[in-house]
Structure 1
Amino acid sequence: SRVHQYAPETASPVRLLWLAARRDRSTFTSGAGLDYDTLVKGELDPATLARFAATLAGQGLDLADYHLLPVHPWQWWNKLSVSFAAEVAQQRLVLLGEGDDAYLAQQSIRTFFNTSHPDKHYVKTAMSVLNMGFMRGLSAAYMEATPAINDWLAQLIAGDEVFRAARFSIIRERAAIGYHHRQYERATDRYSPYRKMLAALWRESPVPQLGEGQRLATMASLLHTDADGASLAGALIAESGLAPEVWLRRYLDAYLVPVLHSFYQYDLVYMPHGENVILVIEDGAVDRVIFKDIAEEICVMDPDAVLPPAVERIKAEVPEEMKILSIFTDVFDCYLRFLNAALAGEGVLDEDTFWRTAAESVRAYQESMPQLADKSPSTTVRATSA
């Protein structure tokens, strides 16, 4: 029953639960131009806010003393109601009930898209479940810098000619909130799952960015095949009316070029796998791409880079010979080779043409940026035609 309620593939509507968290036990941070009151009034309608305030008032409590915090229903009933029972008993946490908006779980399981109001934020919640090798919690401490990191990257992208030419963008994580359980924080180290049980963030929706006739798809969906073995990528190519290699080149110029430019120009890498990349589709072709899941995934591989204090944590010292794996592994090995196999298996595009087109996209970028030609050979993507 839990699978039917919450699994992304069932597309079941979910209403998130909301907690009131004492302000002296919770931390709220937001990006430039956004404050707590503005966010909450944008996400919850006046009737819902009044209902939540009345619930608190009925217990002799004041909404002004609390932050409102969305939680996954499963997390509340299976984890928080037990492991945070003392916090509830002492009214540091108060269950307010469901919000009125309906959401759909995304492929990451813990992130929700608002179907009642698609222009509102995604909501990412903490879940104490093991999925793909990781406990899917959210650290209250780690979340504090999230909005600042997103603002920094958005500003960098907006000021770069190559990114602007590709119309590359991100959807920012605009605000985050985390609850600090003082006993757990005293008893555990910063990596403990007990410190990652109660936090949330709000991420921009890409819907307001869409033009007429445009629609969205995760890049992961290109690999989906139906019962007859036909892929979504193949269906989009057919819909576009473009030659398969022309369709592929447009997609690669939209996706791969920003990845390459980030790497060469800024020593900046992402986790650009299929679920973290949103495609803007127009007439069956990829018009541009949007990256998400920024603060937890990006890295500047230059320990001497000058970054704002709030963004410092994304710097890392990486051995020179390992840097290029962020592209070879995450892009070519973990994604493009599977797209190649899907298209070749359907007879849409043969393997040689696929990789030749990829090489041409890489080479065109390299030729357009001769000032970056002095990059070490150990960190160079070498484009060779098949």
Structure 2
Amino acid sequence: MLTVNPQQYLSQQGPEISLNENSDSHLAEEKRVIRQLLEALLFEHLCDYSYHDGFFYFTLGRSFYRASGRISGFSRIRINAEEMFFSQRYGKHADTKLQAQWIKDISQGIDWQPITLNALVEDLPASVAVKKKLTIELEQTVKLCQWNNKHLNRHISRRELTYTQLESAIDEGHPYHPCFKARTGFSELDHKLYGPEFGNNFQLHWLAIRRCYLKRRFNSVTEKIFWEAELGEQCYQQLNTKIKNLTSDSAAFSLMPIHPWQWKFLKDKLEPAIADGQVFYLGEAGDQYQASISIRTLLNISHPEKANIKLPLNIINTSSLRTIESHTICTAPAISNWLIQILESDNYLKQNMILLAEYAGIRPTNDGTEHQAWIENLDGQLGVIFRQSLHSYCDEKNVIPFVALSIIEQDGSPFIEPWIAEYGCYSWLENLLEKVVIPIWHLLVHHGIAIEAHGQNILLQHKDGWPEKVIVRDFHESMEYVHSYLAQPELAPTFTDFEEEYSFGAPNQYYWMESVEALRELLVDTLLVFNLSDLAVLLEDYYQFPESEFWKSVYQRFRKYQQSNLTDQKRIAQIDLFQPEIKTESLLDKKFRGNRETEFHHQIRNPLADAALHDAQKETSKTSISVPAVPGKSYAYNK
């Protein structure tokens, strides 16, 4: 780990990388961005396409496109980045379906050219304003990836790294979204200082804000006890001394941490409140922190057992502005308390799941008698959530971010290569599903609560690669339930006690959903469509473990759970996992429409339905499965 002084770094760095450099690094990163943009366009049905003999044919704007690839589980599009071409010669045909077939028929006569990012964006079905904004994000993604390639000293192998080291070393970014490393708002210096890739350590900056303008939830401990536990008595006293030196009314103020980048971004906007004596800037203090993969969440390096800190940032990455919705900040501890109650009352969950609770939250509020314009103007841009560190539960040497399961090492082999060699695809996958998928499923069907289980939100505890437990976190923004489907509704928080806006909230706006179908969608989207589907493709590509067998295994684990009678059959039947077509979120479409508040969806094919149909047609006798061997390797289904 290293600590970098911004001014010292500015004097040392060379010229900024130009996007016009015709380097191998630039071309490779641009190809990846183009590939993921095309995959998202086709997956979300943002243009019609035909698929023939391993090639996608489609039109955008005034151009024809051709790319090789395949359609994988849940209709995910997988394109070969080395075979992506377009032609602007025949751009006046209106019937896109006929056009695509026509291109296929005469493709040998078309002057195909490698796709360029600028030309592709120009052809997108979006407004000029959206295209301009998207171009900035896509080019920034290419630029920061190229910058990483030039400056990062990457590990030859990341397999022996601890969890904290992996949060820094996994720099691949989102495997689906084309703006996977946009970080719009970050300069190259900011990327160096506050991006996770370089493992830079930094202190938080601190504000003192009049207590009457703060909303806090500390899980029933006093403010003094809370801050002394979080900061240490010495640091807490130092900050209090600074407050006393700035005002004679020090008892009226309380503390608020702020990310150093966010302070730089907001200090001018905070100037009126500072001039009016409502806010004081205290400078940097306390422990050293390091950014995690999610950027907003910071890991305590000085005292790893202390809280992970989640702070808002006014940057855009993938689909979202990385601020924090204000209403979630002080609701977070109540949600965690609820989930802890459920976990502690359920022997199955206690044995199979670790929950990293969000136990405290602080944010500015206008709940008092005096309305402050600066609080309203900075809504979502100031606040903090404290989350338990995994060090309270297990050795970080035996924990990995779930996204690590689908990454490739410098030697060209998957991160999980030694584990597959040791246990075999089938046995290892069966145990992974049992230890990760089923506990999350149990929380839904047995208790009625769905969580956002994407690759950044869940961790895997293992022993020598053998899955042992799932670790779940980050509930404040996307935990969902339907009141009538809760097994113990009396345990549910009364959300209207926490935020006034909940009193006027409609179903599907906050945490309470109108239909259990929304719970199904959240689980399937985050755990399967945009998560395990990448592992399914990796196992097929590297170990010839057929993707159809992967989804059969997933289906069979769900069926085994159903047959265990752990949960009432009627409850399970309400969450239909096996419908032939399901609705999934359209992340790119949402970006095209420029609407942060609304979700957009499209229909996809469900491979679990195919597995269910196969199971229904099967005879009682079980046929054996043969898997082609990889030259030089032997990865049997079983150990």
User: Is the structural similarity TM-score above 0.5?
Assistant: yes
Secondary structure of the residue aligned to 1:232 is coil
Q: Note closer, same or farther for the CA distance 1:138–1:371 as it changes in structure 2 (3 Å cut).
A: closer
Residue equivalent to 2:338? 152
Q: How far apart, CA to CA, are the structure 1 residues paired with 2:318 and 2:541? A: 27
Tell me the CA shift for residue 342 of structure 1.
Answer: 1.4
Deviation at 1:365, TM superposition (A): 0.8
Which of 212, 234, 238 is the matching residue for 1:51? 238
Q: Which residue of 2 aligns with 1:358?
A: 554
Which of 295, 308, 327 aligns to 1:109? It is 295
1:175: which partner in 2?
Answer: 360
Q: Deviations over 1:235-294 (max 9, x none)?
A: 4434xx222221112211111111211221222111100000011122122210111001
Find the partner of 1:184 among 338, 348, 373.
Answer: 373
Map of 1:237 onto structure 2: 420
What percentage of residue pairs aligned between the two structures are identical? 23
Q: In the alignment, does 2:478 pair up with 1:282?
A: no
The farther-off stretch of 356-365 and 252-261 is: 356-365
- Contact 2:269–2:374 (Cα < 8 Å) also in 1: no
The 1:304–1:371 alpha-carbon spacing in structure 2 relative to 1, beyond 3 Å, is closer
Match of 2:256 among 42, 47, 69: 69
Q: Distance in 2 between matches of 1:260 and 1:231?
A: 27
Between Structure 1 and Structure 2, whose CA radius of gyration is higher?
Answer: 2
The corresponding residue for 2:314 is 128
TM-score using structure 1 length? 0.89
Task: Tell me the residue number matched to 1:28.
Answer: 216
Q: In 1, distance between residues paired with 2:207 and 2:340?
A: 31
Residues 323-338 of structure 1 correspond to what in structure 2 (within 5 A)?
323-338=519-534
Summarize deviations over 1:9-62 as a string: whole Å, max 9, x none.
221112111111110111111225x33222211121233223212222222345
Quick one: distance in 2 between partners of 1:120 and 1:343? 37
Residues 203-228 of structure 1 show CA distances to partners (whole Å, capped at 9, x for unaligned) of 000112115x8522111122221234
Q: Note the C-alpha offset of 1:375.
A: 4.2
Q: Which deviates the most, 371-380 or 19-28?
A: 371-380
Amino acid at match of 1:267: G
- For 1:378 and 1:5, the matched residues in 2 are separated by 48
Q: Distance in 2 between matches of 1:172 and 1:367?
A: 31
**Contact map agreement 1:149 1:310 (CA 8 A) in 2:** no
Distance in 1 of aligned mates of 2:262 and 2:542: 42
CA contact (8 A) 1:43 1:120 kept: yes
Distance 1:233 1:302, change over 3 A: farther
Task: Give the drift of 1:310.
Answer: 3.7
Match for 1:46: what amino acid? E
- 1:142 is aligned to 328
Alpha carbons 1:273, 1:334 under 8 Å: kept:
yes
Taking the TM superposition and a 5 Å limit, the aligned residue runs for 1:226-375 are 226-238=409-421, 241-302=422-483, 305=486, 306=489, 307-310=492-495, 315-347=511-543, 349-369=545-565, 372-375=568-571
Higher RCO structure, 1 or 2 (CA under 8 Å, sep 6+) = 1
1:282 & 1:154 partners in 2: Cα distance? 25
Q: Say if 1:30 and 1:148, in contact at 8 Å, map to a contact too.
A: no
Structure 1 gaps, min length 5: none
- 2:272 paired with 1:86: yes
CA 1:62–1:49 in 2, change beyond 3 Å: closer, same or farther? farther
How far the C-alpha of 1:158 sits from its partner, in A, is 1.2
- Aligned to 2:423, the other structure's residue is in SS state coil
Report the residue type matching 1:229 in the other structure. G
Runs of 5+ in structure 2 lacking a partner?
1-188, 503-509, 579-610, 616-639
**2:378 matched to which residue of 1?**
194
SS class of match (2:389): coil
Please give the alpha-carbon distance, in whole angstroms, between the structure 1 residues aligned to 2:567 and 2:387. 35
Q: Secondary structure of the equivalent of 1:202?
A: strand
Q: TM-score, normalised by structure 2?
A: 0.55
CA–CA distance in structure 2, aligned partners of residues 362 and 160 of structure 1: 19
Preserved CA contact (<8 Å) 1:303 1:315: no
Number of residue equivalences:
375
Change in 2 beyond 3 A, CA 1:194/1:291: same
**Native 8 Å contact 1:102 1:115 kept in 2:** yes
In structure 1, what is the equivalent of residue 631 of structure 2? Answer: none
Question: Residue 207 of structure 1: SS of its match in structure 2?
Answer: helix
* Aligned-partner residue type, residue 493 of structure 2: P
Match of 1:15 among 180, 189, 203: 203
Hey, what's the Cα distance between the residues in 1 that align with 2:556 and 2:404? 24
* Partner Cα separation in structure 2 for residue 122 and residue 276 of structure 1: 13
3-state SS of paired residue (1:128): coil
Q: Provide the aligned C-alpha RMSD in A.
A: 2.5
**CA apart distance, 1:92:** 1.6
TM-fit CA distance, 1:185: 7.5
1:100 counterpart residue number:
286
The separation in 2 between residues aligned to 1:300 and 1:311, in whole angstroms, is 15
Query: Is 1:216–2:391 an aligned residue pair?
Result: no
